[in-house]
Structure formats: structure tokens, C-alpha cells
Amino acid sequence: MYTKERGFALAQLALASAQSKDEDSIPNMKVSAEVCPLCEGTGWKSVVQSGDRRVTRCDCRLKARSQTLLEAARIPKRYEHCELPSFTTDFPGAHPSLAMAHISATRFAQEYDPQDGTGLLLIGKIGTGKTHLGVGILKELIQTRGVACLFYDYRELLKEIQNSYNATVQTTELEVLRPVFEAEVLFLDELGAVKPTEWVWDTVSLILNTRYNNNRTTIITTNFDDQPPAGLMSSAKAAVREETLGDRIGERMRSRLHEMCRIIKLDGLDFRQKFRSANFR
């Protein structure tokens, strides 16, 4: 239930998140027992650029940081194989939108600017490849740019928040939400998958508005069409159409997403069901 006390506490956390934006929140990396021959354990190596000798981060330190970031990203085991180069778009019956989505996702990862804050909203039916592309972006940002990312299934996140209200659980709502607020890039998978209630709307609003206000990048997938809720349509149209993103998260938050994200739409069949493969979620 949303109370004034909860609102005040979460507002304080959101403020703290904004103030700590430039702090390095990544845990200290374990130092390898083996000394790197390039940097001799210093973490820096000498390079020559335009005739000048300079120092730069050693590959061993970058590799160690990438591994730490991958572990902290919480990417589910089912999607550990997902990478942008392995996203297939040239199979029989592939919809042209898949190739365009792949190009857009790859360009987003290559041109990522932490100061921009603009994310992506990947829209499509089940099995069209949204999660594969999202995870591929996270792995690309982690491995080539050293960006701190976090994966969360929308349903799992809401359950963790609700479980924190149980007195027997050794965690608090603030502890669950802090990394969600503070991650440089958050991937929220299957937005709208939970039946909407006032509590769900309040929680989604808090997460999206906090990240928007702190100019943090959010990548989102949803199975629901990007249309307004039934209340904004004629009764005849509302009676014959499927539920929309507006129905599931509210028109205010749908509008906020349009400010936060560029929209990529994927069309086509559920290829996991057709080909018995998990590569196309």
C-alpha cells in the first residue's frame, strides 16, 4: 500500500540517487594472483600515440572490470548467450522490422552517451527478439565501454518490492529500489506484464520518474501495443481491441516513456514456438 511514510522514504532515496550519480558504485574487483606481464600489476600500460609515450588502462584491468560488471548486471542464465552479433534476421519468413531493430540496437550501443539519458522502448509480440536485443546491448556496453548495467524482469522486481513488506524478509523496499534507481543503464523486461493496480502504477511511476529526473538511461521491452488506455477511446473501439500499454501502465507513464526512450517496433511470429528455440525472445 502507498502511504505518506513510504512516499517520503522513497523520495529521500531518489534524492540520494541523484546526489550519488557520479560515484563509482561497482564493488572492488578481486586482484588476480597472477601478475600481468604488460602492466606488472599496476593496472596501467605504456603506449605510443603520435610519437608520444602515454599510459592507459591495461587490458587485464578492463577484462576484470567487465567480468565484475557482468556478474553485477543480474542477466538471467537463460539469456547469457544473447549478443548483438548473434541476433538472426535472415531466416525464412523473417519480418523486415527485425533487421531494422537489430541495426538500431547496434547503433545505440555504439553511440551510447551517458550524458544523453535517452533509452529504448522495444515493442513487439512474444518471441520476436526484444529481450535478446536488450541483453545484447547490455553486454556490449559492459564489455566495450565498462558501463554499469542492471537487468530486471518487471514481474520479478514488483515481487521483490512486495516481499520486502514481509517482516520475516531481511530486506527493505529501499534496498531493493536503490540499485534500480542508481544503475547507469537499467533494462526493464516485459513492462506491463503485471495486472495494473494503484500500487503498481505508483511504483512504476516512481521508478520511471526517478530515472528520468536523474537523466539515467532505461531500456524497456513490452508485449503491449503502444496505444492509449480504453478510457481515451470510443466505447466501440475499446470493446474490440486488445489491452494496450496505456491500459497496463496508465497514459501518464506512457507519455513519460515517449520522453525517455526512442521506440523500436518488432513484428513477426513467435519464433521460439515455431522453431523451438529460445534465441528469439
Average the pLDDT over 221-247 and give the result.
Answer: 82
Q: Which amino acid would we find at residue 21?
A: K
What is the tens place of the pLDDT at every residue in 146-162?
899 999 999 999 999 99
CB atoms within 10 A of CB 23: 8
Extract the C-alpha cell encoding 63.
Answer: 577484462
What is the tens place of the pLDDT at every residue in 134-150?
999 999 999 988 899 99
Buried b (16+ CB within 10 A) or exposed e, 80-95: eebbbeebbbeeeebb
CATH 3.40.50.300 fits 78-275, yes or no: yes
Q: In this predicted structure, what is the pLDDT of residue 63?
A: 74
For residue 11, pLDDT beyond 60: no
Q: In this predicted structure, what is the pLDDT of residue 214?
A: 97
Helix (H, G, I), strand (E, B) or coil at 46: strand
Does residue 63 contact residue 147 with C-beta atoms inside 8 Å? no
Residue boundaries of the structural domains of the chain: 78-275
What is the tens place of the pLDDT at every residue in 41-62?
676 777 776 677 776 666 766 6
What is the tens place of the pLDDT at every residue in 218-231?
999 999 999 999 87
Q: In this predicted structure, what is the pLDDT of residue 105?
A: 98
Does residue 236 contact residue 93 with C-beta atoms inside 8 Å? no
What is the tens place of the pLDDT at every residue in 172-214?
999 999 999 999 999 999 999 999 999 999 999 999 999 999 9
For the chain, give the percent of residues with pLDDT over 70. 75
Q: In this predicted structure, what is the pLDDT of residue 29?
A: 40
Top pLDDT among 128 and 29 is at 128
